[in-house]
C-alpha cells in the first residue's frame, strides 16, 4: 500500500479553507431496484417502474445479465419529478433489461489506464483529469465510468488488477509540480514524454458536486497553489440536484476567487435533453415566455444565473447522443438554443463510448452526426458551436463531415465518405487537425466499424494499429 | 436512502469510515458513530472500509438491527460531525464481534 505524503496547505490556502462552510443537502436519493420492488419508496414513486418492468429486472438479479451489477440504480427526488413527465429522462435514469442483452464492449474505454501516472489522474494533453468522487447523486444508465461507479476491477498496464482509485491531494500535487518543473527547465516540453505544462485540471468522478464544500475547496486551493490556471468541475448536478449550487457553495467560490484571482473556473455541465431544465405544461409542451423563448425550472435557472454572474466562471455543456434519450434533432435544437440564451456554451456532443453494454445506448456515428447537423439547422452561428466528438485512443476526434455523394473514381467512396478530424493528440500537439477519411458505414458505432474502408489516414487513427488503406490492402 | 452504522461499532469506533466518506456525513458520540441519513449519498465507500463490518445499506439491515436506522437519524442530529480519522477505542479489538453491545451505547 502506498503511504501518502501528508499535504500541508500554505498559509494563504489555509486562510481560505478556514472560511469555508459545509451545508446540508437532502437529495432524497433512492438507491437500488430493491426499494422499488418492495414498495419502500414514497407513494408518488411507486408507479415509476411498472410491475412488468420490475418483474423483468428481478428475474435477471444475480445472473450474468444483472443490470445493477453493471450500474447500480440511483435517482434524486428532483430528477424523478421531471422524469415522471419525460420519456427521454426515464430512459436515462431507469434500469432496463435491454442494457445487458449484449455485453460486448471495453472495461476501460479509451484505455485511460495507459495515461494514468498516479492513481486517480488521467494525464492527456495540457489537461489532466482527476477522479475526486466515486459516485453521483443519481446514475445515468449509459455512464461510461461505470467501472468506477460500480467499483469494478480493471486491468492496469502493468498487469495488476484493482478497482480504480480516487486522486489524493498529497499524491497529485507533487506530481503536477514536478511535471511542470521539468517542463519549464526543458524549454516548454517534458524531456521524456514531450508533454506541455499541465495548465488545466478537470475534476471528475463520479461527480465532484457530491463532495462537501470543504472538500471541493481543498482541491481548488491545492490546484491553484500548484500553478493550475483553469480548473474544470465536470458535473451533472444541475440536472440531478440544482439546489446544490446554493449560498454556501457560491460563497466558497467567491472566497476562492478573492484568494486566487487569476484562476479560472469552468463548470462543465451535462444536460442531455431540454426536459431536464424546462418547465412543461400539463399537456407536455414547454411553456413560452412572451418573446417565444422557453421557461426554465426556477432552481435550475437560478443556479445557472448565479454562476454566470461571476465573470471568472464559464459554464459549458457537453453530452453524449444516446438512443432513446436525445437522438432527436428537435430536442437538441431547443436545448442548444436555450442553453446559449442563458449563458451556457454548447461545447461537445459525444458519440457513445464502447463501454460494456454500449449497444443498448449507442447511436451509429453517421446517424449521430446527421442528428446534430439537423438540430443545428435554424440555429444562429453562436448557438451552433457544438461539435460531434468521438474519443480515439490517440486523442479527441471530431466527426467533421459525412457526405452523401460518391467521390468519382475513388474505390470505397461509392456511398460517400466520413471525415474524422483529430482535434488533439493525447500525448502532444503536432497532430492537431490532421484528418482521416473513411468510406461510409451507416451501421458503425465505433472506429472499428471502418477498418475495411480507410481511404486516407493523415491522422494515423488506423495506421497506428497496422490497418492500411483500402486501396493498398488490395494491392498487397 | 442511506447507509447505517449498526451495533458492532459500539465500543470499537475505528473511524476508517470517516476517512473515506466523500460527504463527511459521520457524527461522533463517546463510543459510537452514526451516519446522517439525509446527507449520505449512498456511495457505499464506507461499507468495506469498516474493520468491524458494522456499516450496511438500509436495504440490507438485519431484522435485529432495525432500530439502528432510527438511532442513526436521532443521534446524527445531536452529535458533532467527524471528518478526520482517529485512533480506535483502546479495547476495540476485544469488543469487535461481541453480542449485545447496545446496552453500552453512551449518548
For residue B45, the surrounding DSSP H or E stretch is: none
Tens-digit pLDDT profile for residues A180-204: 999 999 999 999 888 889 999 999 9
* pLDDT-derived band at A284, boundaries 50, 70, 90: very high
Tens-digit pLDDT profile for residues A124-140: 878 899 999 888 999 99
SS (H, E, C) chain A: CCCCCCCCCCHHHHHHHCCCCCCCCCCCCEECHHHHHHCCCCHHHCCCCCHHHHHHHHHCCCCCCCHHHHCCCEECHHHHHHHCCCHHHHHHHCCCHHHHCCCCCECCHHHHHHHCCCCCEEEECCEEEEECCCCCCCCCCCCCCHHHHCCCEEECCCCCEEECCCCCHHHHHHHHHHHHHHHHHCCCCCCCCCCCCCCEEEEECCCHHHCCHHHHHHHHHHHHHCCCCEEEEEECHHHHCHHHCCHHHHHHHHHHHHHCCCCEEEEEECCCCHHHCECECCCCCECECCCCCECECHHHHHHHHHHHCCCCEEEEEEEEEECCCCCCHHHHHHHHHHHHHCCCEEEEEEECCCECCHHHCECCHHHHHHHHHHHCCCCCHHHHCCEEEEEECCEEEEEEEECCCCCCCCCCCCCCEEEEEEEEECCCCCCCCEEEEEECCCCCCCHHHHCCCEEEECCCCCHHHCCCCHHHHHHC
* pLDDT-derived band at A2, boundaries 50, 70, 90: very low
Percent of chain A residues topping a pLDDT of 70: 96
| pLDDT score of B54 more than 60 | yes
Mean pLDDT for A110-135 is: 85
Global pTM value: 0.90
Q: Are A382 and A345 in contact (CB under 8 A)?
A: no
Tens-digit pLDDT profile for residues A202-250: 999 889 999 889 889 999 999 999 999 999 999 999 999 999 999 999 9
| pLDDT score of A276 more than 50 | yes
* pLDDT-derived band at B22, boundaries 50, 70, 90: confident
Neighbours of A226 (CB within 10 A): 18
Task: Map residue B80 onto helix, strand or coil.
Answer: strand
Of B39, B44, B59, the CB nearest to A34: B59
Which residue of A lies nearest to B42 if distances are taken between CA atoms? Answer: A31
Q: Are A276 and A335 in contact (CB under 8 A)?
A: no
Helix A213-225 to helix A169-185 angle (10° resolution) is 20
Which residue of A lies nearest to B38 if distances are taken between CA atoms? Answer: A26
Residue A156, judged by CB atoms within 10 A of its CB (0-12, 13-18, 19+), counts as middle
Least-confidence region, from A242-251, A294-303, A466-475:
A466-475
Q: Are A351 and A399 in contact (CB under 8 A)?
A: yes
For residue B103, the distance in angstroms to the closest alpha carbon of chain A comes to 30
Mean pLDDT for A358-382 is: 95
Least-confidence region, from A208-217, A325-334, A464-473:
A464-473
Tens-digit pLDDT profile for residues A70-84: 888 999 999 999 999
Least-confidence region, from A58-72, A461-475, B22-36, B52-66:
A461-475
* Residues of B with Cβ-Cβ distance to A40 under 8 angstroms: 59
* Residues of B with Cβ-Cβ distance to A214 under 8 angstroms: 24, 83
Residues B39, A24: C-beta atoms closer than 8 Å = yes
Check CB contact of A211 with chain B, cutoff 8 Å. yes
pLDDT of residue A9: 96
Residues B39, A25: C-beta atoms closer than 8 Å = yes
Residue B75 CA to residue B28 CA, distance in Å, equals 9
**Phi, psi values for residue A78, rounded to 5°:** -60, -45
| pLDDT score of A3 more than 60 | no
Q: Are A352 and A109 in contact (CB under 8 A)?
A: no
Of B39, B42, B45, the CB nearest to A31: B42
Task: Map residue B4 onto helix, strand or coil.
Answer: strand
Residues A32, B57: C-beta atoms closer than 8 Å = yes
Tens-digit pLDDT profile for residues B74-93: 999 999 999 888 999 999 99
* Domain regions of chain A by residue span: 32-100
pLDDT of residue A472: 56
* Residues of A with Cβ-Cβ distance to B57 under 8 angstroms: 31-32
Task: Give bridge partners of residue A437 from the DSSP assignment.
Answer: A419, A456
Task: Map residue B64 onto helix, strand or coil.
Answer: helix
* Cα dihedral A60, A62, A65, A70 sign: positive
Task: Map residue B27 onto helix, strand or coil.
Answer: strand
Check CB contact of A21 with chain B, cutoff 8 Å. no
Q: Set out the domains of chain B in order of their start, with CATH numbers.
A: 3-84 (3.30.70.20)
Task: Map residue B57 onto helix, strand or coil.
Answer: strand
ipTM above 0.90, yes or no: no
Check CB contact of B38 with chain A, cutoff 8 Å. yes
Q: Are A321 and A265 in contact (CB under 8 A)?
A: no
Check CB contact of B64 with chain A, cutoff 8 Å. no
Mean pLDDT for B26-52 is: 91
Cell for A126?
Answer: 495540457
Cell for A109?
Answer: 474505454
Of A34, A137, A151, the CB nearest to B41: A137
* Residues of B with Cβ-Cβ distance to A212 under 8 angstroms: 22-24
Residues B23, A27: C-beta atoms closer than 8 Å = no
Check CB contact of B80 with chain A, cutoff 8 Å. no
Residues A214, B24: C-beta atoms closer than 8 Å = yes
CA distances from A227 to A175, A178, A189, B48 (A): 12, 11, 16, 36
Check CB contact of A25 with chain B, cutoff 8 Å. yes
DSSP percent split of chain B into helix, strand, coil, nearest 5: 35, 15, 50
Residues A212, B38: C-beta atoms closer than 8 Å = no
Residues B57, A31: C-beta atoms closer than 8 Å = yes
Contacting residues for A142 by C-beta, under 8 A, at least 6 apart: A92, A320, A322, A325, A352, A355, A358, A361
Q: Mean pLDDT, chain B, as a whole number?
A: 92
**B105 closest CA partner among B19, B23, B32, B26:** B32
Least-confidence region, from A130-134, A337-341, A388-392:
A130-134
Neighbours of A96 (CB within 10 A): 17
Residue A231 CA to residue A198 CA, distance in Å, equals 11
Which residue of B lies nearest to A74 if distances are taken between CA atoms? Answer: B42
Mean pLDDT for B25-40 is: 94
Which residue of A lies nearest to B24 if distances are taken between CA atoms? Answer: A212
- Give, as one character, the DSSP assignment of residue B74: H
Cα B15 to chain centroid distance, Å, stands at 8
pLDDT of residue A5: 57
Mean pLDDT for B98-107 is: 95
Q: Are A259 and A12 in contact (CB under 8 A)?
A: yes
Which of B2, B4, B19, B22 to mutate to test binding with chain A, by most A CBs within 10 Å of its CB?
B22
Name residue, grid cell 422499488. Answer: A36
Cis omega (within 30 of 0) for bond into A206? yes
* Residues of B with Cβ-Cβ distance to A29 under 8 angstroms: 1, 41-42
Which residue of B lies nearest to A37 if distances are taken between CA atoms? Answer: B59
Residue B16 CA to residue B87 CA, distance in Å, equals 9
| pLDDT score of A347 more than 90 | yes
For residue A216, the distance in angstroms to the closest alpha carbon of chain B comes to 10
Tens-digit pLDDT profile for residues A411-431: 889 999 999 999 987 766 677
User: In this predicted model, which residue has the larger pLDDT, A216 or A108?
Assistant: A216
* Residues of A with Cβ-Cβ distance to B83 under 8 angstroms: 214
Q: Are A138 and A240 in contact (CB under 8 A)?
A: yes
| pLDDT score of A1 more than 60 | no
- Give, as one character, the DSSP assignment of residue B30: S
Amino acid at each position: 500500500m502506498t503511504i501518502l505524503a501528508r499535504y500541508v496547505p500554505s498559509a494563504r490556502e489555509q486562510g481560505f479553507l478556514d472560511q469555508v462552510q459545509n451545508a446540508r443537502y437532502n437529495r432524497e436519493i433512492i438507491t437500488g431496484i430493491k426499494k422499488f420492488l418492495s414498495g419502500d419508496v414514497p407513494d408518488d414513486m411507486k408507479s415509476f417502474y411498472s410491475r412488468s418492468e420490475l418483474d423483468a429486472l428481478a428475474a435477471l438479479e444475480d445472473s450474468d445479465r444483472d443490470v445493477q451489477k453493471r450500474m447500480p440504480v440511483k435517482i434524486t427526488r428532483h430528477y424523478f419529478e421531471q422524469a415522471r413527465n419525460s420519456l427521454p429522462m426515464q430512459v436515462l435514469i431507469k434500469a432496463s433489461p435491454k442494457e445487458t442483452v449484449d455485453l460486448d464492449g471495453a472495461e476501460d474505454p479509451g484505455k485511460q489506464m495507459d495515461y494514468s501516472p498516479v492513481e486517480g489522474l488521467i494525464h492527456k494533453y495540457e489537461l489532466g483529469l482527476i477522479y475526486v468522487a466515486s459516485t453521483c447523486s443519481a446514475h445515468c444508465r449509459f455512464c461510461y465510468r461505470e467501472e468506477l461507479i460500480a467499483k469494478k476491477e480493471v486491468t492496469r498496464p502493468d498487469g495488476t488488477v484493482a478497482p480504480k482509485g480516487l486522486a489524493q491531494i498529497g499524491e497529485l500535487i507533487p506530481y503536477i509540480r514536478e511535471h511542470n518543473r521539468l517542463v519549464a527547465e526543458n524549454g516548454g516540453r517534458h524531456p521524456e514524454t514531450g508533454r506541455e505544462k499541465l495548465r488545466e485540471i478537470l475534476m471528475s468522478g463520479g461527480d465532484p458536486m457530491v463532495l462537501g464544500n470543504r472538500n471541493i475547496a481543498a482541491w481548488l486551493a491545492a490546484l491553484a497553489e500548484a500553478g493550475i490556471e483553469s480548473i474544470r468541475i465536470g458535473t451533472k448536478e444541475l440536472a440531478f440536484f440544482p439546489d446544490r449550487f446554493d449560498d454556501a457553495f457560491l460563497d466558497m467560490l467567491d472566497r476562492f476567487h478573492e484568494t486566487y484571482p487569476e484562476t479560472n473556473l469552468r463548470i462543465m455541465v451535462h444536460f442531455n435533453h431540454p426536459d431536464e431544465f424546462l418547465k412543461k405544461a400539463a399537456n407536455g409542451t414547454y411553456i413560452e415566455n412572451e418573446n417565444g423563448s422557453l421557461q426554465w425550472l426556477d432552481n435550475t435557472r437560478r443556479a445557472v444565473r448565479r454562476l454566470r454572474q461571476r465573470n471568472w466562471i464559464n459554464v459549458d455543456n457537453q453530452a453524449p447522443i444516446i438512443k432513446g434519450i436525445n437522438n432527436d434533432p428537435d430536442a437538441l435544437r431547443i436545448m442548444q438554443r436555450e442553453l446559449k440564451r442563458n449563458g451556457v456554451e454548447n461545447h461537445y456532443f459525444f458519440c457513445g463510448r464502447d463501454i460494456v453494454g454500449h449497444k443498448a445506448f449507442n447511436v451509429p456515428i453517421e446517424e449521430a452526426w446527421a442528428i446534430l447537423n439537423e438540430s443545428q439547422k435554424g440555429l444562429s452561428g453562436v448557438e451552433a458551436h457544438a461539435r460531434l466528438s468521438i474519443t480515439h485512443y490517440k486523442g479527441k476526434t471530431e466527426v467533421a463531415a459525412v457526405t452523401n455523394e460518391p467521390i468519382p473514381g475513388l474505390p470505397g467512396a461509392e456511398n460517400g465518405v466520413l471525415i474524422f478530424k483529430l482535434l488533439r493528440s493525447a500525448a502532444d500537439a503536432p497532430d492537431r487537425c490532421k484528418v482521416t477519411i473513411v468510406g461510409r458505414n451507416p451501421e458503425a458505432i465505433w472506429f472499428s466499424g471502418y477498418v475495411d474502408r480507410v481511404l486516407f489516414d493523415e491522422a494515423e487513427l488506423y495506421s497506428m494499429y497496422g490497418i492500411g488503406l483500402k486501396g493498398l490492402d488490395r494491392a498487397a | 436512502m442511506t447507509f447505517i452504522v449498526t451495533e458492532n461499532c459500539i465500543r470499537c469506533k475505528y473511524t476508517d469510515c470517516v476517512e473515506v466518506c466523500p460527504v463527511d456525513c459521520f457524527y461522533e458520540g463517546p463510543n459510537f458513530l452514526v451516519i446522517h441519513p439525509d446527507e449520505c449519498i449512498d456511495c457505499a465507500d464506507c461499507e468495506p472500509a469498516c474493520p468491524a463490518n458494522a456499516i450496511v445499506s438500509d436495504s440490507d439491515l438485519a431484522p435485529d438491527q432495525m432500530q439502528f436506522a432510527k438511532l442513526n437519524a436521532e443521534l446524527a442530529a445531536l452529535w458533532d460531525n467527524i471528518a478526520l480519522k482517529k485512533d480506535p477505542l483502546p479495547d476495540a479489538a476485544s469488543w469487535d464481534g461481541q453480542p449485545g453491545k447496545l446496552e453500552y451505547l453512551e449518548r
